[in-house]
Amino acid sequence: MKRRDFIRSISLSALGAFLPWKVFAADSSKARVTLRRSDERGFADHGWLKTKHSFSFANYRDPKHMGFKNLRVINQDIVVPLEGFPTHPHTDMEIVTYVLSGEVKHKDTLGNSTIIKRGEIQKMTAGTGIQHSEYNSSSLQDVHFMQIWIEPSLEGIQPIYEQEAIDGFGKEGLICVASEAGRKGRALSECQS
C-alpha cells in the first residue's frame, strides 16, 4: 500500500500538547481517529532518555498497537544534556524528527552535520542505508522531540536528508510534512489529493 494512504500531516497544536494524539487517514471523509492518552502509551526511563511510544517499539510490546498501516513509530523523546543516540543504522524507512524544545545535534554518513532547532523538521529517507547519531547539543537543558517512522512504498533508493523550519499552519492547524506526491508544506486538504 502506498505511503500517501497514510499519515501525511502533523497537528502542530497536538504536538505542543501531545494528547490526545490523533492519527488521521488520508481521506478526511473516511478519517479514522485513534486517541491514546499519554498514560496509556509505552514508557521507558533510561536515565539519559525518557521516552513514550504510541506503537510497539524496543522493549514495549502491545499487540493492539503495532502501528497504523505504514506508520510504524511515533515516539516522544526527552534527552538530558550532552547525551543521545550514538551512531546507528537505518534502511528503507522514512524518518521524521520534529524538535519541540532544545536542539538536536545530527551527524550522518551522507556528510551532514547539523543542529535541528525548535520548530524545525528533519526528514531522512534511509533507502539503501544511512548511519546517523542524534545528541542533545546543550550542556544545560533537555531536548524534547518527536520521531515518526513510515515504511516507504519504494525500497532500495538513494538516502536523502532534508531539514527545514515549519512556518505557520495549514488549514485547521494542519500542515503536510511528508507526501509521496511532493506536496509537503501545503495545507492538509491539498496534500491528500
Q: Please give the pLDDT value at position 88.
A: 94
- Cell triple for residue 172? 485547521
Tens digits of residue pLDDT in 145-179: 999 999 888 899 999 999 988 765 554 566 676 66
Q: Please give the pLDDT value at position 40.
A: 84
Among 13-22, 26-35, 48-57, 78-87, whose mean pLDDT is lowest?
A: 13-22
Q: Please give the pLDDT value at position 181.
A: 62
Domain span at residue 134 reads 3-192
Q: How many domains does the chain have?
A: 1
Q: Please give the pLDDT value at position 158.
A: 95
Q: Please give the pLDDT value at position 82.
A: 97
Q: Which residue has the higher pLDDT, 38 or 95?
A: 95
CATH code (residue 61): 2.60.120.10
Average pLDDT of the chain to the nearest whole number: 77
Q: Which residue has the higher pLDDT, 11 or 135?
A: 135
Q: What is the pTM of this model?
A: 0.75
Q: Which residue has the higher pLDDT, 193 or 62?
A: 62
CA-angle at 124, arms to 89 and 136, nearest 5°? 75
188: left (phi over 0), alpha (psi -120 to 50) or beta: alpha
Q: Would you say 114 and 162 are in contact if contact means Cβ atoms under 8 Å apart?
A: no
Q: Please give the pLDDT value at position 100.
A: 92
